Amino acid sequence: MATRIDVTLEDLRQLQERIDRQQLEADDWVVVGALVSGLVARTEARQARLRAKADHQAAQETAEPAGMGPGTAAGHGSAAGHGSAAGHGSAAGHGSAAGHGSAAEDPVAGGAAVGGDPMAPHSKKKGHGRNGADAFVNATTHVHALADGILGAVCDRCRIARVSPYRDEVIVRVIGQPLFAAQRHQFEQGRCRLCGAIYTAEGREPILEGGLGSDYITYDWSACAMLIVMHYFAGAPFKRLEALHEGWGVPMPDANQWRLADAVYDLVDRLYRTLERYAIQNAMTLRFDDTGAMIVDERRQIHKEIEALERVGESTQHVRTGINATCCYLETPQGKVILFFTGRHHAGEVVDELLQQRRVSAQKLVAVSDAAAKNFAHDREDQLDHAVCHAHCYLKFRAVKDQFPAAYAVAAAVYAKVFDHDDQAKALGLDADERMRYHREHSQPQMLRLWQMCKEKVDGHLVEPNSPLWEPIAFVINQWPRLTKFYEVAGVPLDSNLVEQALVIPVRYLAGSFGYKTQNGADVGDRHMSLIATANANGVEPVAYFTECLRHHEDLAQRPEHYLPWVYRDRLEALDGDPGGPQAHTPSSPGPSPPRRVGHPLRPGTRGANRATRSASGAPAPVPA
């Protein structure tokens, strides 16, 4: 694989002068090697493309004589040497019979001749980039039948053959709709003229009990779940949702939205605490980081503390001014867990609080983070095995690639191989111990090469502390024991990219809502974001998941472990494998009946199934809800 380098034109001209003088320096060999490697790769690619084009053209020429008359073989040599028909081909003077053969005899050549990438004849044909009809797995299906008497009848056009069934034409129609829909239920009433007794039609209780609200307006559990996901995951502020639905004729006051979010928090709090306790007690790896956040009341408190100290003439250096959103990404034997915490703390303090729930006798928890000093200041340091993120290390070298192309070229080559080795270990299905030994054999020499380069620059005084190169060099030397942890301890991840990606959720919320007003609001948001992110990480659709949890909140309070995302996912998969079972069967389960199969609240019909109806007249028949 060619190494990519970035050098200025002036640097290349100076290198050319040293080549002319035959006086190359030590650092020049890395640049020269990268340039030659790139030239070799480009040359090989050009040759491969040319060979592929030649093979493609030969395959087309092989297929052409099959459609021509027998007389075309003589005198033109189009069939000669290809062995298309016995007695017609003249192999003399062409010598192509052994090299090509017919398309029918060589299935590989035949496959290469039909579209796709000619350089990869065994690969799947490249698609058109559009979503097929099968991608719309949750679409309702309407079957438009032919009029009676067409199938089996004589064709009106040719008047000879009969019409037989043919593949259906499929048209996907995407329909816009509000996020929330309203149903107005009117119950007929009667009143006694004498005593004033009022009689109301039956059916009120299921409507009022199926959600949150009052006797006048109630919000179904599916609406509560959609609100939580749209606000805390999609980052849509309450006021924006109110403005959108005002135009759609479904009023959603922002004050009502907050009351719903707060009430849902109380109903799923037991689930969150169970998830958090399970995660820290069973975690094998922990990746954590934080980013800036905003809590209006906390920011005001910080200003008050600073002003009070300034009035009495005391130092304000010890006042903690940072408000952070911390993310902890934990991997457990059952699934992945993502937890968020917002407040006046840093990530190391959050980890300490979590470790209080971990058994002292448990093995050390592998923790990966960036190299910030605050991440290593723990009261429970003996419970952690620290490693640092290699992506952060590589990015430090990439930041100075224009000024120091030779140093960057070494780091880029090293990390290209290290990450390739990690991908290869995953492809081979290696367990944690086998992966560690694989990296020790293949990646350790590469890391030692990076270490040697950094050490030579420091020992030879080739880099100064004020130089931009000093930061990546110092990072490698200072964090070396933590950088090499992945081939010394089993199960150590190479980077913390997953937690960086998860932090997009609170960042997106901050961009839309500009932060929280109170610490209580931040706690509500953290719990909801944690449950949504954990559901997504385990392949669970969050709206359907929240709907299920809220619909059975009384059962959830009794046995929250039954509603952990991976348990819910496995239960749905078991139901999908047994379409005839409308209920999930859980032996010896106390309390109410187990949660029933629940799909996405906006999907008609059974979860994951397209229920089709047929109309003999050709008009679409509605799918029953």
Q: What is the pLDDT of residue 100?
A: 38
Q: List the one residue out of 499, 504, 526 whose CA is nearest residue 287.
A: 499
pLDDT band at 68 (very low <50, low <70, confident <90, very high): very low
Burial (0-12, 13-18, 19+ Cβ within 10 Å), 34? buried
Quickly tell me which residue has 């300034």 as its tokens.
310
Residue 605 to residue 611: CA distance in whole angstroms: 7
Q: Give the pLDDT confidence of 190-235 residue by residue, as tens digits.
A: 999 899 899 888 888 888 777 888 878 889 999 999 999 999 999 9
**Residue 237: what pLDDT?**
94
Angle at 72 between CA 66 and CA 77, to 5 degrees: 90
Given the structure tokens 């009035």, which residue do they identify? Answer: 311
Task: Locate the DSSP E strands across 42-102.
Answer: none
Three-class SS state of 479: coil
Q: How far is Cα 241 from Cα 230, in angstroms, rounded to an integer?
A: 9
CA distance 29 to 602: 62
Separation CA 113–CA 107 (nearest Å):
10
In the chain, what are the domain boundaries? Answer: 1-60, 213-389+496-577+595-604+611-625
> For 374-379, what is the mean pLDDT?
74
Q: Which residues, at least 6 apart from 221, have a Cβ–Cβ distance to it below 8 Å?
A: 210, 211, 546, 547, 550, 551, 601
Alpha helices (H) along 233-380: 238-247, 254-282, 296-311, 347-355
Residue type, 459: D
- Please give the pLDDT value at position 45: 72
* Alpha-carbon span 40 to 251, nearest angstrom: 66
For residues 487 and 443, the answer to whether their CB atoms sit within 8 Å is yes
**Phi-psi map region of 591: left, alpha, beta (phi>0 left; psi -120 to 50 alpha):** left
**Which residues in 89-123 are b (16+ Cβ under 10 Å) and which e?**
beeeeeebeeebbbbeeeeebbbbbeeeebeebee
Name residue 50's beta-bridge partners.
Answer: none
**Mean pLDDT over residues 119-137, rounded?**
64
SS3 449: helix
Burial of residue 161 (CB within 10 Å: 0-12, 13-18, 19+) is exposed
Q: Residue 20: enclosing H or E segment and its boundaries?
A: helix 9-20
Model confidence at 11, in pLDDT bands (50, 70, 90)?
A: confident
Torsions phi, psi for 505 (to 5 deg)? -65, -55
Give bridge partners of residue 343 from the DSSP assignment: 324
| DSSP code string of 546-585 | HHHHHHTHHHHHH-GGGGSHHHHHHHHHHHHH-TT--B--
Tell whether the model's pLDDT for residue 70 goes beyond 50: no
| Share of residues in the chain with pLDDT > 90 (%) | 44
Q: Are the C-beta atoms of 325 and 529 separated by less than 8 Å? A: no
Separation CA 405–CA 11 (nearest Å): 10
Q: How confident is the model at residue 172 (pLDDT cuts 50, 70, 90)?
A: confident
Residue 619: band (very low, low, confident or very high) from pLDDT cuts 50, 70, 90: very low
Least confident of 90-104, 336-350, 375-389, 465-479: 90-104
Q: Which residue type does 428 have?
A: L
- Does the CA dihedral 304-307-313-314 come out positive or negative? positive
Lowest mean pLDDT among 156-160, 253-257, 506-510, 591-595: 591-595
For residue 55, pLDDT over 80 is answered with: no
Give CA–CA dist 41/390, Å, rounded: 27
CB 486 within 8 A of CB 492: yes
Report the alpha-carbon distance of residue 139 to residue 173 in Å, rounded. Answer: 9
CB 383 within 8 A of CB 402: no
How many whole angstroms separate alpha carbon 221 and alpha carbon 211?
Answer: 5
What's the pLDDT at 210?
79
**According to the model, what pLDDT value does residue 240 have?**
93
Contact 529, 329 (CB under 8 A): no
List residues bridging with 367 in a β-sheet: 286, 386
Q: What pLDDT does 183 receive?
A: 85
Asked if 264 contacts 228 with a C-beta cutoff of 8 angstroms, the reply is yes
Q: Give the model's confidence band at 501: pLDDT under 50 very low, under 70 low, under 90 confident, else very high.
A: very high
Q: What is the pLDDT of residues 402-433, one digit of tens each?
A: 999 999 999 999 999 999 999 999 999 999 99
Can you tell me the distance from the alpha carbon of 76 to that of 275, in angstroms, rounded to the nearest whole number?
A: 77
Q: How far apart are CA 347 and CA 288, in angstroms?
A: 7
